[in-house]
Amino acid sequence: MKQFKQDFLWGASTSAYQVEGAYGEDDKGLSVQDVKAVLPGTPDFKVASDHYHHFKEDIALMAEMGFKTYRFSIAWTRIIPDGDGAINPKGIEFYSKLIDECLKYKIEPLITMYHFDLPFELEKKGGWSNRKTIDAFLKYAKVLFEEFGTRVKYWLTINEENMMILHGAAIGTVNGSAAEVQKILYQQNHHMLIAQALTMKLLHKMVVGAKIGPAPNISYVYPKTCKPEDILAMQNFTAIRNWLYLDMAVYGRYNTVAWNFMEKTGITPAIEAGDMEVLKDAKPDFIAFNYYATATVADGSAIFEDDESGDQQISIGMKGFYAGSKNEYLQKTQFGWEVDPEGFRITLREIYDRYHLPLIVTENGLGAYDEVNENGEIIDDYRIEYLQKHIMQAKLAVDDGVELLGYCPWSAIDLISTHQGFVKRYGFIYVNRTEDDLKDMKRLKKKSFYWYKKVIASNGEDLTNNK
């Protein structure tokens, strides 16, 4: 059996607004996440895991696990507090120190430029609906590449652009019901795609040898049955969820089925002269993607009504196109997300077959209610089992011929979930706080911490869990 490459990028991920805290410190501007209304009973993002003040300790723990990479995001609002105005030297200083801390341990920084936290000042001017946000992003990108380009080899443009369009209400990047704002959203999407293309080009021009790619959430979509109408529904959802984003990033063209969906529903974006050339002109070096589970859909043409209650992994459907459906062969997590390790291999094969670019997994993991026992331990065997099975399937995908550069589960350390609070923990490192009590923020090593250390040390060969 083929093995993971010798320089395989083992690591894990976080995002700035979910982990850093210090939301108003050192001249940081507000982001849309800082001002969004959180669900009753869930915390806001003001303190999060206080990574801003604990980053040295946190990176030392990641180094202890043997990380080869750490995927984190830079908060645009720390670098340019109002999104397109003055540069904040304290923001540059913070990320400079964070990058140096990683490099000290030979941990390759893998940086997401934008992870759901658009500067609020830009949002007030229309956010991504305003074409000027493309210029603002480019300005921000230029600062990042100038300041950090010599130290950072791997860049990710935009985290889960597809989820911001499909489930922005759950993530907190869209106000109000997505159905009412479809036309606006697909125009925003067009602008983000242009921003991404220009950014990829800019990096290649500014930093020779640096690599960049998109980071959507990609899931293989199963048809509920082999009924032809279910297959059509599967193709519809696959196009809208996955290929719209990757066909554009790689080939610079709108996916036909997705474009047809936009035409039929009257939500095609306005495309200005020169846009399609810009989109065609950029090429990613790799595809990064987040994977939690597959999706299953059935024919959506009948009595089905649109429903807004979905999230990144719970697909509800669109009347006339597809209906989200349960997969009876899969178990669910405590938070209702299906678990499908084989689907991971299927998704890896599908993406690679379609685009023939190296892949990096930038998220994969299990959100669960972790408990500290009377001995101060966190025995998260369920997480180990989830990751074990997924790494095994990644290995099989490598054996199938997929070129896989790295694996970064979500998340390196406990942090705040997009919409389900701190109780939905994902980390290898436990953070001692609750929804409403910040306690001492102490870091504790979960059982999965020791397990992952062993996995990395053996380059993915030893996945055993000693119970």
Hey, which residues are catalytic here? 160, 363
Q: Does residue number 363 form part of the binding site for ligand BG6 (CB under 6 A)?
A: yes
Q: Does residue number 418 form part of the binding site for ligand BG6 (CB under 6 A)?
A: yes
Q: How far is the CB of 256 from ligand BG6 (least distance, A)?
A: 27
Provide the residue type at 301 as one letter.
Answer: S
Q: Given the complex with ligand BG6, which of 169 and 257 has the nearer CB atom?
A: 169
Q: How far is Cα 18 from Cα 71, in angstroms, rounded to an integer?
A: 13
Of 257, 214, 215, 253, which Cα lies nearest the Cα of 234?
257
* Cα separations in angstroms, 38 against 42, 43, 169, 399: 6, 7, 11, 43
Q: How far is the CB of 104 from ligand BG6 (least distance, A)?
A: 26
Q: Given the complex with ligand BG6, which of 201 and 419 has the nearer CB atom?
A: 419
Angle at 273 between CA 123 and CA 242, to 5 degrees: 60
Residue 326 and residue 335 in contact, taking contact as beta carbons nearer than 8 Å: no
Cis? peptide before 411, omega within 30° of 0: yes
Stretch of residues binding ligand BG6 (CB under 6 A), selected from 95-103, 239-247, 351-359, 413-421: 413-421
Ordered strands of the 221-223 beta sheet: 221-223, 295-298, 322-324, 317-318
Among 9, 10, 15, 282, binds ligand BG6 (CB under 6 A): 15
The token pair at 342 is: 């084989």
Residue 322 and residue 295 in contact, taking contact as beta carbons nearer than 8 Å: no
In DSSP terms, 164 is beta-bridged to: none
Site for ligand BG6 in 63-102 (CB under 6 A): none
Among 130, 265, 268, 420, binds ligand BG6 (CB under 6 A): 420
Q: How far is Cα 47 from Cα 300, in angstroms, rounded to an integer?
A: 42
Q: How far is the CB of 32 from ligand BG6 (least distance, A)?
A: 14
Q: Given the complex with ligand BG6, which of 77 and 88 has the nearer CB atom?
A: 77
Q: Does residue number 219 form part of the binding site for ligand BG6 (CB under 6 A)?
A: no
Among 238, 290, 296, 347, binds ligand BG6 (CB under 6 A): 290
Q: Does residue number 289 form part of the binding site for ligand BG6 (CB under 6 A)?
A: no
Q: How far is Cα 365 from Cα 313, in angstroms, rounded to an integer?
A: 12
Q: What mask, x for binding ligand BG6 by CB under 6 A, covers residues 149 to 188?
A: ----------xx--x-------------------------
Q: How far is the CB of 159 from ligand BG6 (least distance, A)?
A: 5
Q: Given the complex with ligand BG6, which of 269 and 406 has the nearer CB atom?
A: 406
Lookup result for tokens 């990033």: 249
Q: Does residue number 364 form part of the binding site for ligand BG6 (CB under 6 A)?
A: no
Q: What mask, x for binding ligand BG6 by CB under 6 A, covers residues 308 to 337?
A: ----x-------------------------
**Cβ neighbour number for residue 342 with a 10 Å cutoff:** 16
Among 78, 424, 443, 447, binds ligand BG6 (CB under 6 A): 424
Residue 382 and residue 368 in contact, taking contact as beta carbons nearer than 8 Å: yes
Q: Does residue number 367 form part of the binding site for ligand BG6 (CB under 6 A)?
A: yes
Stretch of residues binding ligand BG6 (CB under 6 A), selected from 47-55, 200-208, 218-226, 419-427: 419-427
- CB crowding 10-20: b at 16 or more within 10 Å, else e: bbbbbbbbbbb
Q: What mask, x for binding ligand BG6 by CB under 6 A, covers residues 237 to 276?
A: ----------------------------------------
Q: How far is the CB of 310 from ligand BG6 (least distance, A)?
A: 11
Lookup result for tokens 């939690």: 292
Q: How far is the CB of 207 from ligand BG6 (least distance, A)?
A: 25
**Do the strands 322-324 and 295-298 form a parallel or antiparallel pair, or are they unpaired?**
antiparallel
Q: How far is Cα 363 from Cα 343, in angstroms, rounded to an integer?
A: 15
CA-based radius of gyration for the chain: 21
Residue 287 and residue 309 in contact, taking contact as beta carbons nearer than 8 Å: no
Q: Given the complex with ligand BG6, which of 131 and 332 has the nearer CB atom?
A: 332
Residue 116 and residue 158 in contact, taking contact as beta carbons nearer than 8 Å: no
**Chain residue whose CB lies nearest ligand BG6:** 417
Q: How far is the CB of 175 from ligand BG6 (least distance, A)?
A: 18
Residues interacting with ligand BG6, by CB under 6 A? 15, 18, 159-160, 163, 217, 290, 312, 363, 367, 410, 417-420, 424
